[in-house]
Amino acid sequence: MSDERRFEIIRALSNNVVLANDVLTNKETILMGKGVGFGAKPNGLLAASDGRIEKTFTLESQQHLSQYQMLLDQIDPDVITISERIISMVSEELTPNLNEHIHLALPSHIEYALYRIRHDIAIENPFLWELQTLNPKEFEIAARAAELIAKSFGVEVPEDEIGFLTIHIQSAAAHVPVGNVVQYNHLLKDLVALIERRRGGPIPKESVDYLRLITHLRFAIERIRQGEHSPNPFRDKLKDMVPHEYSVAREAADLMEKKLNKPVTDDETAYIAMHLYRLFNKELD
């Protein structure tokens, strides 16, 4: 055992989760696996080859590590275990490159969600349709995560909560803080509302036009956030060719500039105007 990687146990969080120190790297590491914490004693050693260890992860940020240690004292160990199972699902099925803050944010969210569910405190998710439509893979994983939570804690998880879980998955995968993901979804809704007002009527969410619109706006927000620029060869002509649509596109661009604190180019405004011309001058699908 002396020649193989070992972990020195700091504490068992549950029968399935152990906080340990990687002897080789001297970094605190979370070990997960069925029964790995059963009988584990502080200062005891576990070989990396121990068949009970199914997953390990290390929090590189010292701040995150300190926060995680505090979290362990405040949150039900079963919530930690379920959270890590969900994170494993996301890592395996979406991307292994997740923001490590999800190890803090997700258990905190699930703990509070369980409190709300058990006390019949309903919180509507205003972005449910958009989240499900624009993030189908994340939403599907979130739906299975909700099933896991429901089965583990004997509760019924509402669909709105699946939307909130989707936001956490989206945040971790995109390395964007949860608050920013919520902000972008608010902005998306505000942009749609602006366009519907200028169009003179609502766009049915079930229509192809609504899907096209929110998809275009979602990627526009992402391009602006990332500072990406794509030249539009029709930029200078569109102001005269489609003045109404360009005016609405400019309003939308001003709103994005205000909310994102980023400049919106005339090229991007022109692309929005082109999309609006198609939307404003056709029957809904």
**Three-class HEC string of the chain:** CCCCCEEEEEEEEECCEEEEEECCCCEEEEEECCCCCCCCCCCCEEECCCCCCCEEEECCCHHHHHHHHHHHHHCCHHHHHHHHHHHHHHHHHCCCCCCCCHHHHHHHHHHHHHHHHHCCCCCCCCCHHHHHHHCHHHHHHHHHHHHHHHHHHCCCCCHHHHHHHHHHHHHHHHCCCHHHHHHHHHHHHHHHHHHHHHHCCCCCCCCHHHHHHHHHHHHHHHHHHHCCCCCCCCHHHHHHHCHHHHHHHHHHHHHHHHHHCCCCCHHHHHHHHHHHHHHHCCCCC
Instruction: Please report where in the chains the tokens 């002509």 appear, as a residue.
Output: 237
Interatomic CA distance for residues 260 and 192, integer angstroms: 16
Q: Which residues of 210-219 are buried (b: 16+ CB within 10 A; e: fewer)?
A: bbebbebbbe
pLDDT beyond 60 at 158: yes
Ranking 17-21, 126-130, 266-270 by mean pLDDT, the lowest is 17-21
pLDDT beyond 90 at 69: no
Predicted TM-score (pTM) of the model is 0.84
What pLDDT is stored for residue 209 in this prediction?
87
Interatomic CA distance for residues 170 and 178, integer angstroms: 8
pLDDT beyond 50 at 1: no
Q: Are residues 141 and 90 in contact, defined by beta-carbon separation less than 8 angstroms? A: yes
Mean pLDDT, rounded, for 95-112 = 93
Tens digits of residue pLDDT in 25-67: 888 888 888 899 888 999 999 998 999 998 888 877 788 878 8
| 285 band by pLDDT with thresholds 50, 70 and 90 | very low
List the one residue out of 235, 126, 234, 101 whose CA is nearest residue 177. Answer: 101
Tens digits of residue pLDDT in 190-222: 999 999 999 999 988 888 989 999 999 999 999
Q: CA angle 134-201-215, nearest 5°?
A: 15
Q: Which residues of 29-38 are buried (b: 16+ CB within 10 A; e: fewer)?
A: bbbbbeebbe
What pLDDT is stored for residue 89 in this prediction?
94
Domains of the chain: 1-58 (2.30.24.10), 62-175 (1.10.1790.10), 179-280 (1.10.1790.10)
Ranking 89-103, 141-155, 249-263 by mean pLDDT, the lowest is 89-103
pLDDT beyond 50 at 284: no
CA distances, 77 to each of 37, 67, 93 (Å): 12, 15, 24
pLDDT beyond 60 at 283: no
Mean pLDDT, rounded, for 245-259 = 97
Interatomic CA distance for residues 45 and 149, integer angstroms: 32
